[in-house]
């Protein structure tokens, strides 16, 4: 081979690699590139060990049942997955029903705006985002309602990402992000005009505990809406396939145990909320929320090859391949949960803190 053909072959290979990594790599809603994948606040060399530690929670079920350990385990999970989520999904870490003729981005935004419309918020009100991720919903909701949104997340890497995105979007005067545990929130009693949680309270070992905290910080008379992950009325605990799917969802999404749809209102009433409305937003006429996951399978294969290559050449932390593999399998369990109708990630409950405390007789 003469030097000209050698040069051309080299240039072609380099161009191909650039295209594969930098053009195909980024997510639909850009925020992260494959070459920037990290282990969140975990140093690159510790990602694999933390991944193993994450799995050990499931090998010793007694530990995961120990409620105090759950927030740490959830924090580790989000260190491992936050960059991959942003890269492959965008800045909103939740699902939404498919809407014909609308992009995923628009369908996501509409699902978020519905939450704030339900809690009847006025410009200037102070509202709480319980489990805010990197703030995709918070920014959409602040821009739509002009309310001041305070988000809380257990994961400090997400706090930094969310603050950076808020600034970039010019919404940092409306959006504030706090690192903390939603089971013991660093906020005063009766200090919010409304609250919402989008696919976040499923990480609480006991739903009553997080609902009680939201109840405490809300002003009397104000509203709270939550989109809950639940098993539906179609779930049968004696069907091995159902059990496999639900356990697969729990393991791949850091859940201490999925709740039944019928437990949600009970938990809310126990802490003092009035139930205003309850509806599974995944039910017809809504179109499947899992379409995007199902359609994305080819892209996820490509992503997997990319992650293997990047880890092999030392750009991505070694354990990223294991984490990506776990998510790949999780996507399949979620799709099966959706197809069979035994699982919903959007069981909506709208609650009011009564204007007056119930009288003690
Ligand atoms: C509410 C939660 C998270 C919900 C979703 C945002 C995420 C659940 C599963 C995730 C993904 C699965 C497959 C990944 C794919 C293999 C990768 O190449 C690109 C990212 C994925 C699509 C990733 C994106 C986010 C999810 C859809 C839980 C945790 C309570
Ligand atoms: C699936 S993400 C959803 C994020 C956001 N609501 C969205 O839709 O983009 C769940 C969020 O809940 C947060 N979370 C889970 N357990 C928590 C806890 N105990 N305290 C505070 N945040 C928690 C996670 O850190 C993460 O930000």
Residue 20 lies in a domain: no
253 CA closest ligand 2 atom index: 1
Query: Mapping DSSP to helix (H, G, I), strand (E, B) and coil, where does residue 60 land?
Result: coil
Can you tell me the mean pLDDT for 206-233? 98
The protein residue whose alpha carbon is closest to atom 11 in ligand 2 is 131
Helix residue ranges, H only, the chain: 3-18, 47-59, 61-65, 70-88, 104-118, 136-145, 156-168, 207-217, 240-252, 264-270, 291-295, 297-312, 320-340
Task: Give the model's pLDDT for residue 11.
Answer: 66
Residue 216 lies in a domain: yes
Question: Of all residues in the chain, what percent are helix, strand and coil, respectively (each to 5)?
Answer: 50, 15, 30
| Interval between CA 208 and ligand 2 midpoint (Å) | 16
ipTM for this model: 0.99
Can you tell me the mean pLDDT for 310-314? 95
| Interval between CA 133 and ligand 2 midpoint (Å) | 5
| Interval between CA 184 and ligand 2 midpoint (Å) | 14
Task: Give the model's pLDDT for residue 236.
Answer: 98
Task: Give the model's pLDDT for residue 22.
Answer: 52
Residue 19 lies in a domain: no
The number of domains in the chain is 1
Range(s) of the domain holding residue 108: 44-353
Element containing residue 344 per DSSP (H, E): strand 343-352
Ligand located closest to 70 CA: 2
The CATH number of the domain holding residue 345 is: 3.40.50.150
> What is the CB < 6 Å shell around ligand 2?
71, 74, 78, 92-94, 131-133, 136-137, 152-155, 158, 181-183, 198-200, 203
CB 50 within 8 A of CB 80: yes
Task: Give the model's pLDDT for residue 64.
Answer: 53
Residue 212 lies in a domain: yes
* Average confidence score pLDDT of the chain: 92
Residue 206 lies in a domain: yes
Q: Phi first, then psi: what are they for 99, rounded to 5°?
A: -125, 115
Residue 116 lies in a domain: yes
pLDDT band, residue 28 (cuts 50/70/90):
very low
Residue closest to 54 by CA, chosen among 83, 82, 74: 74
Higher local confidence (pLDDT), 63 or 199: 199
| Interval between CA 239 and ligand 2 midpoint (Å) | 30
């Amino acid at each position: 081979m003469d030097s000209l053909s050698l040069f051309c072959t080299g240039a072609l290979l380099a161009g191909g690699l650039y295209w594969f990594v930098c053009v195909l790599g980024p997510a639909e809603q850009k925020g992260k590139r494959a070459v920037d994948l990290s282990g969140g606040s975990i140093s690159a060399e510790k990602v694999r060990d933390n991944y193993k530690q994450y799995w050990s929670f499931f090998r010793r079920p007694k530990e995961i049942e120990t409620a105090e350990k759950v927030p740490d385990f959830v924090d580790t999970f989000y260190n491992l997955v936050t960059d991959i989520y942003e890269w492959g999904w965008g800045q909103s870490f939740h699902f939404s029903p498919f809407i014909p003729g609308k992009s995923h981005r628009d369908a996501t935004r509409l699902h978020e705006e519905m939450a704030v419309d339900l809690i009847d918020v006025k410009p200037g009100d102070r509202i709480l985002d319980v489990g805010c991720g990197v703030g995709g919903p918070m920014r959409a909701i602040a821009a739509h309602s002009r309310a001041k949104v305070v988000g809380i997340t257990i994961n400090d890497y997400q706090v930094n990402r969310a603050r950076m995105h808020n600034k970039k979007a010019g919404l940092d005067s409306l959006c504030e992000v706090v690192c903390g545990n939603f089971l013991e929130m660093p906020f005063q009693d009766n200090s919010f005009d409304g609250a919402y949680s989008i696919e976040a309270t499923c990480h609480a070992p006991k739903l009553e505990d997080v609902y009680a905290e939201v109840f405490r910080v809300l002003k009397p008379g104000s509203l709270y809406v939550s989109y809950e992950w639940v098993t539906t009325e179609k779930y049968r605990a004696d069907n091995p396939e159902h059990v496999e799917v639900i356990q697969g969802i729990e393991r791949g999404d850091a859940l201490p145990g999925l709740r039944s749809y019928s437990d949600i209102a009970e938990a809310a009433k126990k802490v003092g909320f009035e139930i205003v409305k309850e509806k599974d937003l995944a039910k017809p006429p809504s179109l499947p929320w899992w379409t995007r996951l199902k359609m994305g399978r080819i892209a996820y294969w490509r992503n997997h090859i990319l992650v293997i290559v990047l880890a092999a050449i030392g750009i991505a932390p070694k354990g990223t391949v294991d984490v990506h593999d776990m998510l790949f399998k999780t996507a399949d369990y979620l799709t099966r949960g959706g197809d069979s109708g035994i699982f919903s990630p959007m069981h909506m409950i709208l609650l009011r803190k009564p204007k007056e405390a119930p009288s003690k007789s």
